């Protein structure tokens, strides 16, 4: 009976992925509760440890406990391990260990990897896993070295290397945790061109996805980027520019945020805040001081999020591109959805609509519930919910005031947002196969 149940369970890749991430969260909760994980040597309460473990595993960055002062060095390494596992995916990591041990990857494992990495086919899936590890570790190593060189100007070499490793892994995986204490994030470096640009590059590389990184590295031999990579890069660049300009305009005269800064610093801060909404969570300016218009613009950017196969969340840049193209095609009276002179199949358009509608339903439902349980304004609640669901990690000051119920709901939002609404839905139910019949066509008036 048990073997039969396990066989059925393992036959559903979405269920394995959901169960795997849940297991990591609970293991992380147990480890963060240990007295060795806190700087004071005290045991962390269950709910606080669970919330932090969920945030780290789902590479979100929302925190009620100050990472730099509350946790010990052991706690920091536990957090870093959770972030790395959450960013790469537990199946990717497990497959790599199996390959190192000389074991073959079974067909079932490949199917789970295909679901985990959001791939359309099994072809080259193991090779992609190897590249994921190579790209991730290489980028994190270079980022750690560059951060350490900068931090050595203000701290000891050993501590600078420690800070460099932590922040490189955290930022590349779009987690947003920092060790600077007092929930300051990177506000001390608001005018530091070196730190800002390095952070922007790491967030961008972590957010575009490993498939795009692979395409870019093979550009010399292929001489042409895939449609997926072109869409991701163009949409990412467009959203970064739009976000930067929007934040710069709305906050230019705000004396609580960008107002006191010089023009160069304003531009730098606006760019980092625009990039970080893509799922990163780091900030050089207090988000709570932003105007309502700016916070709402950031909510929209967070909803789009990063790209498929990346360490970020949101509905993804490709979903946004397909929806925008579908609207444009309908406005022009065309039946085909076209991107870069390539027709997008109808099933992809339907999937984009489904992901967007499910995401909107989840966000709106959570906002309505928290509007009853939490004593915050509607915009602040919407900001927190979107930040959690899109695994961004930015907060306008609500995280520390969450009720126990609010903590659990936000943790669930981070979990669902990291896995994706479709994966979570498939895990709860069963995918129906292709039907052998079609209903008669009906007429309905739209618009």
pLDDT tens profile 380-424? 999 999 999 998 988 888 988 899 999 999 999 999 988 888 776
What SS3 class is residue 338?
Answer: strand
Does the structure show a pLDDT above 80 at 16? no
pLDDT of residue 235: 92
Does the structure show a pLDDT above 60 at 101? no
> From residue 325, how far is each of 207, 242, 306, 357 by CA, in Å?
22, 18, 18, 17
pLDDT of residue 206: 86
Ranges 178-187, 218-227, 322-331, 364-373: which has the least confidence? 218-227
Q: How confident is the model at residue 431 (pLDDT cuts 50, 70, 90)?
A: low
Q: State the alpha helices, DSSP H only, in 173-260.
A: 193-208, 210-217, 219-222, 227-251
> From residue 149, how far is each of 146, 197, 229 by CA, in Å?
5, 14, 32
Does the structure show a pLDDT above 70 at 84? yes
The structural domains of the chain, with segments of one domain joined by +, span: 14-428
pLDDT of residue 435: 66
Neighbours of 419 (CB within 10 A): 23
Give dist(CA 302, CA 305) in Å, integer. Answer: 5
**Mean of the per-residue pLDDT values of the chain:** 84
Give dist(CA 335, CA 320) in Å, integer. Answer: 18
> From residue 239, how far is each of 265, 276, 300 by CA, in Å?
20, 11, 10
pTM of the model: 0.89
Q: State the alpha helices, DSSP H only, in 89-124.
A: 90-100, 107-116
pLDDT of residue 274: 93
Interval 247-255 mean pLDDT: 93
The answer to whether the beta carbons of residues 275 and 203 sit under 8 Å apart is: yes
Name the more confident of 50 and 432. Answer: 50
Q: How confident is the model at residue 75 (pLDDT cuts 50, 70, 90)?
A: very high
Ranges 26-30, 94-98, 415-419: which has the least confidence? 94-98
Does the structure show a pLDDT above 90 at 339? no
| 143-184 pLDDT tens trace | 999 999 999 999 899 999 999 999 999 999 888 888 987 788
Neighbours of 107 (CB within 10 A): 8
Q: Which residue has the tokens 């559903």?
A: 12
For 336, residues 6+ apart whose C-beta sits below 8 A from its C-beta are 329, 343, 344
Give dist(CA 109, CA 106) in Å, integer. Answer: 5
Radius of gyration of the chain (CA): 22
Q: How confident is the model at residue 364 (pLDDT cuts 50, 70, 90)?
A: very high
Interval 325-354 mean pLDDT: 87
pLDDT of residue 10: 54
Which secondary structure element, helix H or strand E, spans residue 296, and what is its range?
helix 292-304
Beta bridge partners of residue 337, listed in sequence order? 344
pLDDT of residue 2: 54
Question: What percent of the chain stands above pLDDT 90?
Answer: 44
Q: How confident is the model at residue 209 (pLDDT cuts 50, 70, 90)?
A: confident
Concatenated DSSP letters of 29-45:
HHHHHSGGGBTT-PPPP
Give dist(CA 93, CA 79) in Å, integer. Answer: 16
């Amino acid at each position: 009976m048990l073997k039969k149940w396990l066989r059925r369970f393992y036959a559903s890749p979405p269920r394995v992925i959901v169960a795997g991430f849940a297991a990591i969260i609970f293991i992380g909760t147990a480890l963060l509760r240990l007295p060795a994980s806190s700087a004071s040597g005290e045991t962390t309460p269950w709910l606080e440890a669970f919330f932090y473990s969920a945030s780290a595993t789902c590479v979100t960055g929302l925190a009620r406990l100050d990472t730099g002062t509350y946790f010990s060095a052991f706690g920091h390494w536990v957090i870093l391990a959770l972030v790395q596992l959450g960013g790469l995916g537990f199946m990717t990591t497990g497959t790599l260990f199996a390959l190192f041990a000389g074991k073959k990857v079974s067909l079932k494992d490949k199917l789970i990897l295909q679901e985990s990495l959001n791939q359309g086919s099994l072809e080259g899936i193991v090779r992609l896993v190897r590249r994921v590890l190579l790209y991730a570790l290489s980028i994190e190593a270079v980022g750690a070295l560059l951060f350490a060189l900068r931090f050595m100007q203000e701290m000891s070499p050993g501590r600078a290397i420690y800070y460099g490793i932590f922040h490189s892994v955290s930022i590349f995986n779009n987690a947003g945790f920092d060790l600077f204490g007092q929930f300051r994030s990177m506000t001390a470096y608001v005018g530091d061109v070196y730190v800002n640009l390095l952070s922007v590059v790491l967030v961008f590389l972590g957010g575009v996805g490993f498939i795009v990184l692979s395409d870019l590295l093979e550009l010399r031999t292929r001489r042409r980027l895939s449609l997926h990579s072109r869409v991701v890069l163009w949409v990412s660049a467009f959203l970064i520019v739009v976000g930067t300009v929007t934040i710069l305009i709305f906050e230019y005269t705000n004396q609580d945020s960008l107002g006191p800064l010089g023009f160069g610093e304003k531009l730098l801060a606006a760019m980092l805040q625009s990039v970080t909404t893509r799922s990163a969570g780091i900030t050089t300016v207090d988000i709570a001081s932003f105007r309502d218009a700016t916070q709402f613009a950031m909510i929209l950017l967070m909803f789009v999020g990063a790209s498929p196969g990346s360490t970020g969340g949101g509905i993804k840049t490709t979903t946004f591109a397909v929806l925008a193209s579908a609207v444009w095609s309908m406005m022009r009276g065309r039946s085909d959805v076209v991107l870069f002179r390539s027709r997008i199949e109808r099933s992809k358009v339907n999937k984009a609509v489904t992901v967007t509608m499910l995401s909107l339903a989840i966000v709106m439902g959570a906002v309505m519930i928290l509007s009853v349980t939490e004593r915050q304004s509607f915009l602040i609640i919407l900001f927190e919910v979107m930040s959690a669901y899109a695994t961004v990690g930015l907060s306008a000051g609500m995280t520390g005031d969450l009720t126990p119920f609010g903590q659990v709901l936000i943790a669930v939002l981070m979990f669902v947002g990291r896995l994706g609404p479709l994966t979570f839905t498939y895990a709860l139910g069963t995918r129906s196969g292709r039907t052998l019949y079609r209903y008669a066509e009906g007429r309905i008036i739209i618009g």
